[in-house]
Amino acid sequence: MKNVLVTGGAGFIGSNFVRYLLEVDQQVQIVNLDALTYAGSLENLKDLPDADRHTFVQGDICDRDLVRALLQKHQIDTIVHFAAESHVDRSILSPEPFIQANVIGTFTLLESARQYWMVEKSMPIEQVRFHHVSTDEVYGTLSPEDPAFSETTPYAPNSPYAASKASSDHLARSYNHTYQLPVTISNCSNNYGPRQFPEKLIPLIILNALTGKPLPVYGDGQQIRDWLYVTDHCEAIHLILTQGKSGETYNIGGNNQPANLTIVETVCDLLDELQPQTDPHRNLIKFVTDRPGHDRRYAMNISKIENELGWKPRHNLSDGLLDTAQWILANPSWVAAIQKQREYQTWLTKNYETREKSS
């Protein structure tokens, strides 16, 4: 792994991975391709370690000519594919961008890699790797008594977002099976941590609480998710790249499944300690109309990556939430830059403020 193309590297998980890879691998050169849509920001790439080994390119993963030119110019031997539309609520309101980015974009990258690595024989095939980053949402939903998702759980996506990611997973798997393109896939649970765009639950709750705004909780708040600290996720991906087997899929999770309401209440209690106020932050909680087709429970069985690669999450939930809140408090310039985005403010109004109060 010498020359790595990271797609979506100005987004939340992608930018954290760029930072992680520059720290742990002193030889790697990174080309970062990001379209800088609403969730990607150059703010996420400030103060990178050894920034001379990082090249940023603004562009679309669906632009095949651009992708091929980058592969050839930088002699890319590894692709780590984060770029995706990833918010379920947005996919419900407007599914087309999810099909374009997640399905067509993934196909464009796979086909470009196949042409460059296999047809043009640019480098030995045993020295290249395409890693596709996916989600636990492709598996659908679990009832309270169901076992956790494993790598062999049948796909049953329930939102346009999840369906688009399931489609991209199938494409990646097919390129390995049909063409023997060296592909690995990881399906992760809900990520959280520094630099997460604040349309997602945890940063939204932290920022709203700090400014005295309502803390919206969908339905009864008893939806269950597995929460994964972002740097733990980055470490897992690095292990898959360096030690994982081509053709394999690995589930990555945080080994915890609290209800969403528990997450919100925990964040409120943390902020009561970090930023004490007269009224407890829990008083800001507001139950709002649930998301259509909202999956009730996700849980991840991570025994495969534990047993085969020796990975397990380093952060427990309380420590990770504390680190996240402290990072947001310590980085007001990042917060200000994100909150200035007109599109972000429009989205908050459209998705939260106009929801009718849940009965």
**Which amino acids are annotated catalytic?**
136-137, 161
Distance CA 28, CA 54 (A): 9
Structure tokens, 278? 């007269």
353 Cα distance to chain centroid: 25
Structure tokens, 96? 């087309």
Residue 122's SS3 state is coil
Residue 148: enclosing H or E segment and its boundaries? none
Distance CA 273, CA 237 (A): 34
For residues 131 and 184, the answer to whether their CB atoms sit within 8 Å is yes
DSSP conformational letter for 224: B
DSSP conformational letter for 115: I
Terminal Cα distance for the chain, rounded: 54
Distance CA 272, CA 198 (A): 20
Of the candidates 50, 105, 42, 41, which has an alpha carbon nearest to the alpha carbon of residue 79?
A: 105
Length of the chain: 359
Distance CA 47, CA 330 (A): 15
Distance CA 238, CA 186 (A): 11
Structure tokens, 184? 């690995």
Residue 227: strand pairing partners: 190
Distances (CA, A) of 9 to 55, 61, 230, 267: 11, 12, 13, 27
